[in-house]
Structure 1
């Protein structure tokens, strides 16, 4: 069987890495935020929905093809690979996401696919209903350029959203973006450290990066408190499946060291990792603390109100492993001079507090202006990655202390 997972465009390789790590399956990243993979048991899709941090959706693949116009979509849709057991005595609805320039809209595709499925189910004498607001079976269509993918969405909601994010910050990013920056940094967050390590976010905002890092380090699913909301609970062929026990066992799974791929340890035996969330704004810090409490991960994060320029008084020399953050960006509230000053201070203190070979991983819209500040204090850009949050293009930038 085949499935397709959707992530943010530009994030295909990190999502592909996560899929292979979680499922140990053959997978392939494709442009447009897609990961196509093979699987043997539906439990693998349950697991991916529950454990993934980088994905937007996970769907059983019914059909894929290339097309040139909407009429061709209508002609190419086939019922050959449809598993009708999903639809028996259940409601369904079709949703469509498109990327690219087309002479049709998503709603037109939803109508075409919905009418086709309804017609075929009637021909097979399968009892069903349509519920556009809360369907039992969410049929998902993804169109990227001239590529068409259709299947059943096993999550049934946007997996990039986080239920803990009740208190927001104007410049905050989605949890899936924050997690992807963590993986982009190449820092071995989920390894078994030999001594205490320090992970620092000096521009904590609403705490998203610190929370995602804490959940990742402690192998805690970001869906722990909304595990009952997954669409797969309503699928008729799984009526007798014990989801409570299965998901509970996933929570107990040992953490694997990504250093050699074999070493495992219980959570209680992991050497302490200090995740430090700092912000100069007390309101931001309170929001971060509240969000962390909602995620039930606050005890794994240290919160502190500190200005960036004073970080060298808070941390010892060569004590911090990595700085990872979503810093303020130039806008109507922060002019370029203020931002320049802030980054000069950041790289100055980073040179002092980071260990040899330490890294600074940040999310930016533009980053060329950072190069002189970084170079002055012995940092160089190791790599960059463009990623889209909706229609907004962001850049992951990784600096390394040389």
Structure 2
């Protein structure tokens, strides 16, 4: 049978996610309306993407796709989706609608009416109606509406794949793992050649994801028993376990990789170390308490090949954030040899500081979220 998987990520990371999907599955993917899509005849690709992809944040199995002109048509055409292969009588479900565009209806209207379609569908095909559980459903039916187009499917992931199993400590305004991997890719970091330093590591996400990437360790390892697709009546646990093992066999933690994270706050350093232990990379990474203005005591001139940072967000303490950015560029002018990469929405500040400290903006990649919107910016010495 032929299937299509629909993958979501942070707006602006679609090209990174496409590459991620293609590398994970060795299959051609496409981007359409902000989603990465891949066709397959192997449902185990669902396990592969949830377990091993790094930029993808959710994977849906597409069951129906259609256009509509009004609410009644939206609901009626959902009956074309065949849910019967995936439901067991004992399993509960809920419908979750996501909308982009202007509509005369609300998402909760879609959830309620489409839930009725699912029950009628299964009553007709299997002779029974499944129970609804809006809090902890076993199966998550998705209705993704973009303007006048609807995709009906099954959320195979459950919670966002950004909720890594290793993350028991969360710093304020944490970096998403999907963004961390995009930063590493955009920077062009080479684990065999480049010392990587994150001078504002927070809960350690960037450094831990860098280690997982360098060692080819699947980021879904700590969640492998919790993906939503495991509740389906389709894939056997043995098949899924063997699929996981294919990726586990590729891991190589003996690789000599230099990745170091610093933070001003002891609780962030302690939390990063705890996360790293749960991720299985504690021996291969280094976290330490260091003020940004001390870094030129720790490293020599142009000793740092790769500087990647997600600076503090500009909220109430504007003066402290401006001071951080200025010190960041001051330190980078002395320390950075190859490239500095920043995830920021302070575009004017970065432009002005780059000029002041003799950096040149090599490239920038705009993202579709935040106010002002964020961008990934690569800088090198002018």
Structure 2 Cα separation of the partners of residues 215 and 166 of structure 1? 17
Change beyond 3 A, Cα 1:162–1:30: same
Counterparts of 1:240-319 in structure 2, within 5 Å, are 241-253=238-250, 266-268=252-254, 270=255, 272-319=256-303
Deviation at residue 63 of structure 1 after TM alignment: 1.1
Q: Say which SS state the counterpart of residue 59 (structure 1) adopts.
A: strand
Task: Choose 321-330 or 162-171, whichever is displaced more.
Answer: 162-171
Q: Say which SS state the counterpart of residue 212 (structure 2) adopts.
A: helix
Q: Hey, what does 2:32 align to over in structure 1?
A: 30
- Pairing partner for 1:234 from 218, 231, 236: 231
Q: Hey, what does 1:352 align to over in structure 2?
A: 334
Change beyond 3 A, Cα 1:172–1:389: farther
Q: Hey, what does 2:312 align to over in structure 1?
A: 328
Deviation at residue 388 of structure 1 after TM alignment: 4.9
User: C-alpha deviations, 1:291-336, integer Å up to 9, x for none?
Assistant: 222323222211122222221221122322211111123321242x
Structure 1 Cα separation of the partners of residues 237 and 218 of structure 2? 24
Contact kept, 8 Å, 2:4 with 2:37, in 1: the verdict is: yes
Change beyond 3 A, Cα 1:367–1:390: closer
The two structures have a TM-score, normalised by structure 2, of 0.91
Tell whether 2:156 aligns with 1:176: no
Q: Hey, what does 1:159 align to over in structure 2?
A: 161
- Pairing partner for 2:341 from 347, 354, 361: 361
Task: Choose 367-376 or 39-48, whichever is displaced more.
Answer: 367-376
Contact kept, 8 Å, 2:166 with 2:222, in 1: the verdict is: no
Q: Hey, what does 2:358 align to over in structure 1?
A: 378
Change beyond 3 A, Cα 1:235–1:391: farther
Tell whether 2:183 aligns with 1:199: no
Contact kept, 8 Å, 1:215 with 1:297, in 2: the verdict is: yes
Q: Hey, what does 1:103 align to over in structure 2?
A: 104
Task: Choose 130-139 or 40-49, whichever is displaced more.
Answer: 130-139
Which sections of structure 1, spanning at least 5 residues, go unmatched?
A: 255-265
Structure 2 Cα separation of the partners of residues 288 and 44 of structure 1? 31
RMSD of aligned residue pairs (Cα, Å): 2.3
Task: Choose 200-209 or 279-288, whichever is displaced more.
Answer: 279-288
Q: Hey, what does 1:263 align to over in structure 2?
A: none
Structure 1 Cα separation of the partners of residues 354 and 372 of structure 2? 25
Q: Hey, what does 1:342 align to over in structure 2?
A: 324
Which sections of structure 2, spanning at least 5 residues, go unmatched?
A: none
Deviation at residue 353 of structure 1 after TM alignment: 2.0
Deviation at residue 158 of structure 1 after TM alignment: 1.7
Structure 2 Cα separation of the partners of residues 67 and 52 of structure 1? 33
Change beyond 3 A, Cα 1:16–1:187: same
Change beyond 3 A, Cα 1:307–1:58: same
Structure 1 Cα separation of the partners of residues 246 and 360 of structure 2? 43
Structure 2 Cα separation of the partners of residues 276 and 130 of structure 1? 49
Structure 1 Cα separation of the partners of residues 330 and 237 of structure 2? 59
User: C-alpha deviations, 1:38-84, integer Å up to 9, x for none?
Assistant: 112111111001111222211111111233332231233242x5252
Aligned length: 378
Structure 2 Cα separation of the partners of residues 67 and 397 of structure 1? 40
Q: Hey, what does 2:222 align to over in structure 1?
A: 225
Contact kept, 8 Å, 1:360 with 1:400, in 2: the verdict is: yes
Q: Hey, what does 1:41 align to over in structure 2?
A: 42
Structure 2 Cα separation of the partners of residues 156 and 210 of structure 1? 25
Deviation at residue 200 of structure 1 after TM alignment: 0.5
Contact kept, 8 Å, 2:30 with 2:36, in 1: the verdict is: yes
Deviation at residue 88 of structure 1 after TM alignment: 4.1
Structure 2 Cα separation of the partners of residues 147 and 128 of structure 1? 27
Contact kept, 8 Å, 2:7 with 2:36, in 1: the verdict is: yes
